[in-house]
Amino acid sequence: MTGIDESALTRRAAQGDAEAFGILATEYAAMARRVAYSILEDREDADDAVQDGMASAWQAIGRFDLKRSFRPWLMSIVVNAARDLRRRRRVRTTEPLETVSAASRDDPAREVGAIDLGVKIKEALSQLPERQRLAVVLFDAEGYPQSEIAAMLGIPEGTVKSDVFHGRRLLRKLLGNVREEWND
């Protein structure tokens, strides 16, 4: 899937090799940003959460069980960092997050077709409850098996299956003919 030797790099990182951890962080940065965005629905907040999560992971890597897979471990830390940041933002902000369309804050060039399509998808995604949104993104967009998603989010595998099912159903309904537009 990727061009890096994850287990060798993880072993080196666990021994304190900053360069090895840097390579792993770079490799999974884009995925982590997408996952954090699907929780926070704001690009800057998502980037902050990814940085917090990666820094926490680096500080905890010495305790990482090398028998486990690194990627879901890292993503679970990023998910927690994003949720943590959202809680802090909720305390600080007086305006509920739902009243501001995430897409409208992020992409000023909405008139461009491709971006418009992206905006429609993001708006549809923001209608889903957070857990369903995360389950669909992790399963369909990032390719995690449902068992790993369950471990990552700390919920039963059956719940993940159900979240993917309901999330997709709502997403398909909301997206309507966007799929056809996408194919054109």
Partner 1 sequence: MTDLSQAELERDEQLGLMLREALAPHHEAAFLVRLRARLGKAQRARSWDEELARWFWRGLAAATAVVIMAGLGLTDQQLNLPDDQVVATEASFAGQLLQGRSPGVEVFLVTMRSSR
User: For binding to partner 1 (CB under 8 A), which residues are involved?
Assistant: 18, 21-22, 25-26, 29-30, 33-34, 37-38, 43, 46-47, 50-51, 54-55, 58-59, 117-119, 121-122, 125, 136-137, 139-143, 146, 161-162, 164-166, 168, 171, 178-179, 182
Q: How far apart are CA 71 and CA 28, in angstroms?
A: 8
What contacts 74, CB < 8 A, 6 or more positions away?
24, 28, 32, 53, 54, 57
Residue nearer to partner 1 on the CB measure, 97 or 146: 146
CB nearer to partner 1: give 101 or 182.
182
Tell me how far CA of residue 16 lies from CA of 60, 83, 118, in angstroms.
Answer: 10, 27, 40
Of residues 94 and 177, the one with the C-beta less far from partner 1: 177
Min CB(94)–partner 1 separation in Å: 27
Cα–Cα distance for residue pair 98/49, rounded to 1 Å: 19
Minimum CB distance to partner 1, residue 93 (Å)? 22
Query: Considering the complex, what minimum distance in angstroms separates the CB of residue 75 from partner 1?
Result: 14
DSSP characters over 36-65: HHHHH--HHHHHHHHHHHHHHHHHHGGG--
* Nearer to partner 1 (CB atom), residue 91 or residue 134: 134
Q: How far is the CB of 16 from partner 1 (least distance, A)?
A: 8
Residue (57 or 151) nearer to partner 1, CB: 57
For the bound state, the minimum distance from the C-beta of residue 97 to partner 1, rounded and expressed in Å, comes to 17
119 Cβ partners below 8 Å, 6+ apart?
A: 103, 104, 107, 110
